[in-house]
Structure 1
């Protein structure tokens, strides 16, 4: 196995455990298709390419296509990556009760937007990730400051914003695997967000117990959406809200859920969900499609955020985790000395804490208790 990365700090925990001794790590700008192709062209008997994160999805597909490797539908992934196009597609095909309005924050007319947008609404980057560049606009008077913030944003990946209705209700995420047009839900996680107006992701518990009726309706709904966009093979992480009138999509990501979602699935179901990516990269039916695993336990992950911007200096209290129920484990994401630019989105995450429990609810209480023993030092 070869790891191509432009930022080794993303793998702080894994590399600290000796992973670099068992695989080859190559530093490269993974947004450069030519650069990645040049490196992989020298690999003998190259079998497949695995890609995980959203920002490099289309580049990775382009690399796989040029090297003749199995890969997902470029058209489907492109549509799902564009939040504005996806919202319109959902509305046009009967999967949502509302469409979107896409605009360029640099040239948009404030009076015209006020006339067009539904209030309250959510305004976000059409290709955003990690909860960055997402704004709740409750009333027209708040739109001007949002436009200023968008124009000053350091990184607006999609170059445009999409506005969509503000759906009320709790948010969940479904992890699915598709092969030859067949889609299987592996499980559903609960999600907890920070108080508004920010949408900072703070914790998730797996698996959520759904009634047979609701699970069947959810499976049919997500399968129908993926079929309608032509996504026939791959893994998806679908964030959705259960509103008073039914399901509404927040976004669909053509990857596993972020941070420790995969680890939570592995622990709870006693399977190797990550092996799905190897199967897909080799162009074969994922083994997990034919498994019917029992729920062995629950698992909850909690993000440890910096309490303020500044320089991260360390986390205290970790020795208390050793005797704590639920086997809480702290996975570092940042290293002491790292500058923390914000605390309102996932750029402020310092570490993730993962704890087990006999059920998802008990794992949640174990995780909440454990994370309360930690103290973050900033300077």
Structure 2
């Protein structure tokens, strides 16, 4: 029996291989760029995954490649960008798949907020516009300030702008117009409060909260994700309220099966949605969850691909430890050369592990969003707070070396 993943999260391939091995199933990875998985493909377990080189955003080529896989039983959909390809391919091959319309709704940030606002599940609607045809004065009349402007289908904190006053609109529109292929933006209120994400798994309309992740962002005006910790220990009443809130939101979207990574803010007036990602959280969050619970959460991808209730819906989840992560960013754009201080990892408490996302010689185009990440550092601790201090301490001992871009 074979299961195919059409691309996958940056890191997590090892966990997928582990799950396939336990089940006695063959794992295939369809990818347009093997280099994206260079770190994991250099590990011993890489021999246990069959790599299929194909243009993964071309559904015709993907379907052709999938038809050549012997005894293919299901498709793993783990990422945002390839959602439509995965769903269409599964539908064509008559394989189990999620509610396509629900995934499309959630992937469209502007449409999603309007949908939830109409049902009383968020305090504000969205304003969707084309930066190339919208005039500043016309847009200013439609917005409240401060607002966040972002790509309706964005990720990795890319193409997100904070618009504090009307004066910020003109430079924001100009910046958006310089982004190739960016034709739809959504403007939403800028809610005040700490940012979290709730990690969930849904089956047959039943949603289970797997835990909550805290995160810190860079100072304004950017929204660069810098640290994560899991699991957050909320008071019991707050945890129950959050579970009911997120379940109601997913029910309103008719999202009936699959992982979700829902970002939210706890404002002075309660929970407020930022966005829903119809997948397991990225940035090695799945690895943090697996370490915290002592299980392989990626195993659920195989149940979902086969169209059966994931065992993760019913397993007892008791944290064995806390986990925390720091994303290491290049200090400037240019050519990544390496990370100094790695010899200290084995000396530090919390078993810190470095997971590179760039190789020596790779170009780093920007540092204000996810494009500037060169590695992730994960550490554990007896509690989540201890894990957080462990990873911050170790991160401070590492130094990212860059060769600056040549200046004209």
Maintained 8 Å contact 1:172/1:189: yes
Pick aligned residue for 1:312 from 336, 358, 371: 336
1:233 CA displacement: 0.7
Aligned counterparts of 2:48 and 2:310: Cα–Cα separation in 1: 25
**Map of 1:38-53 to 2, 5 A cutoff?**
38-53=64-79
Counterpart position of 2:268: 244
**Map of 1:147-226 to 2, 5 A cutoff?**
147-156=173-182, 159-226=183-250
Q: Residues 102-135 of structure 1: CA distance to partner in whole angstroms, max 9, x if unpaired?
A: 0000100111101111111000000011110000
Aligned counterparts of 1:52 and 1:233: Cα–Cα separation in 2: 13
Q: Residues 331-375 of structure 1: CA distance to partner in whole angstroms, max 9, x if unpaired?
A: 010000001000000010000000000011000000001111111
Counterpart position of 1:15: 41
SS in 1 for 2:376: strand
- Asked if 1:80 corresponds to 2:80, the answer is no
Pick aligned residue for 1:66 from 50, 67, 92: 92
Aligned counterparts of 1:331 and 1:365: Cα–Cα separation in 2: 18
Counterpart position of 1:343: 367
1:18 CA displacement: 2.8
Aligned counterparts of 1:113 and 1:328: Cα–Cα separation in 2: 47
SS in 2 for 1:116: coil
Unpaired runs of 5+ in structure 2? 1-26, 404-408
Aligned counterparts of 2:338 and 2:53: Cα–Cα separation in 1: 27
Aligned counterparts of 2:176 and 2:233: Cα–Cα separation in 1: 39
Counterpart position of 2:317: 293
SS in 1 for 2:120: coil
Maintained 8 Å contact 2:116/2:252: no
1:292 CA displacement: 1.8
Maintained 8 Å contact 1:270/1:293: no
| Runs of 4+ with >4 A deviation | none
Pick aligned residue for 2:349 from 315, 325, 334: 325
Maintained 8 Å contact 1:77/1:231: yes
Maintained 8 Å contact 2:352/2:377: yes
Aligned counterparts of 1:356 and 1:288: Cα–Cα separation in 2: 22
Q: Residues 207-226 of structure 1: CA distance to partner in whole angstroms, max 9, x if unpaired?
A: 00011111111111111111
Aligned counterparts of 1:127 and 1:342: Cα–Cα separation in 2: 20
TM-score by length of 1: 0.98
Maintained 8 Å contact 1:271/1:293: no
1:17 CA displacement: 0.7
Q: Residues 238-280 of structure 1: CA distance to partner in whole angstroms, max 9, x if unpaired?
A: 0110000011111101100002101111111112110011110
- Asked if 1:54 corresponds to 2:80, the answer is yes
Aligned counterparts of 1:268 and 1:106: Cα–Cα separation in 2: 46
Aligned counterparts of 1:58 and 1:280: Cα–Cα separation in 2: 16
Q: CA RMSD in A?
A: 0.8
Moved more, 8-17 or 362-371: 8-17
Q: How many aligned residue pairs are there?
A: 377
Counterpart position of 1:364: 388
Q: Residues 11-44 of structure 1: CA distance to partner in whole angstroms, max 9, x if unpaired?
A: 1221111333111111212111101100001112
Maintained 8 Å contact 1:306/1:349: yes
1:98 CA displacement: 0.5
Aligned counterparts of 2:386 and 2:35: Cα–Cα separation in 1: 32
Maintained 8 Å contact 1:171/1:240: yes
Maintained 8 Å contact 1:267/1:297: yes
SS in 2 for 1:370: helix
Aligned counterparts of 2:283 and 2:168: Cα–Cα separation in 1: 32
- Asked if 1:135 corresponds to 2:171, the answer is no
Aligned counterparts of 2:217 and 2:382: Cα–Cα separation in 1: 24
Counterpart position of 1:256: 280
Unpaired runs of 5+ in structure 1? none
